[in-house]
Amino acid sequence: MRQCRADGGLVACEVVWAEVTAGFPAAPEADEALGRLQVAFSASDAPTARAAGEGWRVHRQLGGGRVRVVADFLIGAHASAHANRLLTRDRSFYRRYFQRLQVLDPTRR
């Protein structure tokens, strides 16, 4: 995260923001933590939402199960459109569906 922040900053779409917020007892605590990490909120737009929907449709047509949810596709589509890489531990999924996106595992150096 430090390297990505140094390279140009960190952004999180509404899905990631909501997921992080859910991990805290109250929203202000989540906002404070994200602020300390210098993560900026970056909302999706209509083209991003459409791309996520198209990806979800392809996933389901290819027999993909419901373990994946459309939120996973929103995260990938947002990163593809509004960032130049994605920090995630779920590298194989995002590399499969978002092949042009640089995918980084924050637990690896």
User: What is the rounded CA–CA span in Å between residue 75 and residue 33?
Assistant: 20
Q: Is residue 45 part of a domain?
A: yes
Alpha helices in the chain (DSSP H): 2-7, 14-22, 27-36, 46-61, 70-82, 91-97
> 48 pLDDT exceeds 80?
yes
Answer whether residue 57 is part of any domain.
yes
Does residue 109 form part of some domain?
A: no
Question: What pLDDT, on a 0 to 100 scale, did the predictor assign at position 64?
Answer: 82
Q: What global pTM score does this model have?
A: 0.89
Q: Would residue 13 count as lying in a domain?
A: yes
Residue 57 is part of which domain span?
2-102
Count of C-beta atoms within a 10 Å radius of residue 57? 12
Q: Is the pLDDT of residue 44 over 90?
A: yes
Q: How many domains does the structure of the chain reveal?
A: 1
- Percentage of the chain beyond pLDDT 70 is 99
Mean pLDDT of 43-66: 92
Cα(79)–Cα(86) distance, integer angstroms: 6
Which CATH number goes with the domain that contains 74?
3.40.50.1010
